[in-house]
Structures are given as C-alpha cells and as structure tokens.
Amino acid sequence: MLQPVIDDLLVWAGRRGHQLDVDLLVQALDLRLLHDDLGDNHWPAGSVRQLMVERYPASGPVEPPAAEELLATLEVFWRFLRSDGRMNARSASPAELVAEGRKARGRMAKACQEAAMVTARRALAEQEQARDRLIPASDVHASAADFRASGLWRQLRALMDWVAAGPEGTRQVLPVGDLEMGQVRELWELLDLGVWTGRFRAADFDAAEVPAALASVPVVSRVAWDEGWAVQADCPAVDRLWWVAVRAGLLTVVEGTARVVLDEPSDAQGWVELAMAVLYCTAEWCAYETSLEALCLVLMMTSEPAGGGPATLRELVQAWVDSVRADLLDLGIAETSALDEAGWDLVHGMALFDDANLWRRGHRIEGTALGWDFCTVLSGALDDNGVLGLQE
C-alpha cells in the first residue's frame, strides 16, 4: 500500500478515535496481493473468509495474528475506504465484510495451527524417509525410551495434565494464546522450573569467559521467581514449554481456550515421530537464542552412527570454533571476536537442550539414540545459512 494512503488512513482514524495496527494491515494486504492478486481497495464477498481461513494458514507467518486484532484493524481500513470513496465498486460493504470476518474468526486459529502442524510433520516425514535410505538408523526402541525418560517430555506431560485438570478439561488463557501471569507462575512452581532457569542462566556468561567456563562449569542453582516478569515471554522456562506444546500439536488454543489434543503413541515408532516433532519445535523456539548449526555439530561428534563418540565440552567448543574460523577465512575475514561468540553459542545451545536426553553428561558427553535421530532431522532442515527451512 502506498505511504500516502497510510498517512491519510492514520489521520482519518485519529480524528475518529479509531485504533489499528498498521504493520498487521500491511501484512494482510501483502498476502492478498502476492497470492490472490487483489488490490488494497478490492474486497469482494468471500475475500475476508479466504484471507483468514485459507491465506493466513497457507502462506502467513509462523505465528499468525489473533483473529480479533486482524478483524478490528481491517474494519477501520474498510470504513476508511468507503468514507473516502476509495473502495472498489465491486467490493462488499464494510458491514458485510465485518459479518463475514466474524463468522471466519473462530476457524482462523485452528486452521493456522493445523496447517503448521501438517506442514512441519509432512516435511519431517519426508526427511526421515530420505534418511532411512542414506543414513544408519538408530534403535527405534532406544530412541523412544530416551525421549520418554527426558525431562523435557516429563514437563510437557505435566503441562498437558495441568490443562486437562481445568474446568471441562480446558484452561482459559489470553486471547492471543499466551498464559496469564498467574498461570505462568503456577506452572513455574508446579514444574519446578527454577532449576532449568538456573542452568539457562549459568550458560549465559560473557563470551570472553568461555575458557573459564570450560575449565570449571558453573554450578547450577535454583533461580527464584522474578517479580519483574510481566508477560509469558519474560519467563523462558514456561514460554518454551507452552510454545512447543502448542506448536507441536500437543495442545490447541482456539479463542482463548486451551485443551489437550494429543493421543499418546501406541508403539516405539510413534513415540520417535512424536519426539522429532517436539524436538523440532523446540529448535524453532531456541533458534532465537543460539546457533542450531552448533547443536548439529555436538550431535554428530557425540553420535557413534556418525563416526563420533564421547567428547569433552572443551573438544566440542574447539571443533565449533575451528569450523567458524574456516568459514571466516573463506569469506576473507580475519579472526575476530566472532570466535569467542562461537564458543558461547555452543555452550548456551547445549544448556537449552540439556533436558531433552540428546546426550548424557559426565566427564565426557555421550550421544544417545534419540540425539542421532534428531541430528539427521535437524541437519536436513537447516539451509545454507544455518536457518530452519521448514518453519512455514
């Protein structure tokens, strides 16, 4: 949409006390223009339902907007177009478009979630088929046992039990799908997440301190609840579990109502498939915190099927730093502080996955069957820049 139109819209809305999200509006208009070739001012009957129930699930962002917020912004835009004489003559009226949007809003969140689950699981299944043809497979029973014994799964299972224990097997959460802060604190205490947060923070040292951290890994202590936390995202331990549970299809959240939708697998293969979906979604969450390429290196170096074996943390960090140094030299870049950051990235990334049973820690770090299975999935999902390529 042209900037002058945005400027006119904001002036018009401001005079009438209307509020809208310009970024969200531009996102919606771009989706329509790119995929449906519909102009900003052309809104025929059926186009709102198409945008909310088809276009956003198929082509929208990984985290779609709340249907109510989208509809509120679009309503302001439609009324502006009609009052200013800019609405295409073949468009439905603002009232008709709003009514259409209200009918579609209840289906939007579910459609987006189902599309994300199907896309990710289809891609994972295709990767696993290719892997089975080319790469040594792990013991499926050992891999399933690794996942079921992991702290990550135990906490996700407890989270699902908490949701199911609510009225009629549900929990009412915020309209955007996040937990209320009282619920965040309840889960923090119920799942004893102060320990995970202690591990998370212990690895969050300054990059220059990597050598010292390897010589004497910080003692993990339980962290207390922080009264300064105001939203779910402020509490990484709860945010990670909730995000993964919803993204991996263990829970569904529709119009502020969360419920458990997972049927637990009946055999080892089913458990491994569930594990890959959960771990992949965990990687999506962690991608904002660390390098997933470093995680792949850890899994490969410590996995026997890849020709690796038990390794010390220092050996893993050195291997990753050497890899980054080689990449920098290929780009004609002299050794920089990026090497210190690389060491931090690996240590920090391992802390984020320490409860997933991808390896066993001791004097040396030893990969598990689950770790090798996830290595083959994750390495196949990363593009040439080390970014997950299956997020949409």
Model confidence at 390, pLDDT cuts 50, 70, 90, reads very low
Average pLDDT over residues 4-19: 87
User: In the prediction, which pLDDT does 126 show?
Assistant: 52
Average pLDDT over residues 206-212: 48
* CA 274 centroid distance within chain: 16
User: In the prediction, which pLDDT does 147 show?
Assistant: 96
The residue assigned the tokens 């989208």 is 70
Model confidence at 175, pLDDT cuts 50, 70, 90, reads confident
- The pLDDT of residue 125 is above 60: no
Burial (0-12, 13-18, 19+ Cβ within 10 Å), 363: exposed
* CA 110 centroid distance within chain: 17
Pick 319 or 115 by higher pLDDT.
319
Q: What is the mean pLDDT of the chain?
A: 82
Contact call for residues 316 and 346 (beta carbons, < 8 A)? yes
User: What does pTM read for this prediction?
Assistant: 0.64
- The pLDDT of residue 387 is above 80: no
Burial (0-12, 13-18, 19+ Cβ within 10 Å), 200: buried
User: In the prediction, which pLDDT does 133 show?
Assistant: 46
pLDDT tens by residue, 15-30: 888 899 998 998 898 8
User: In the prediction, which pLDDT does 134 show?
Assistant: 44
Model confidence at 33, pLDDT cuts 50, 70, 90, reads confident
pLDDT tens by residue, 85-120: 889 888 999 889 998 988 888 788 777 766 555 555
- The pLDDT of residue 142 is above 90: yes
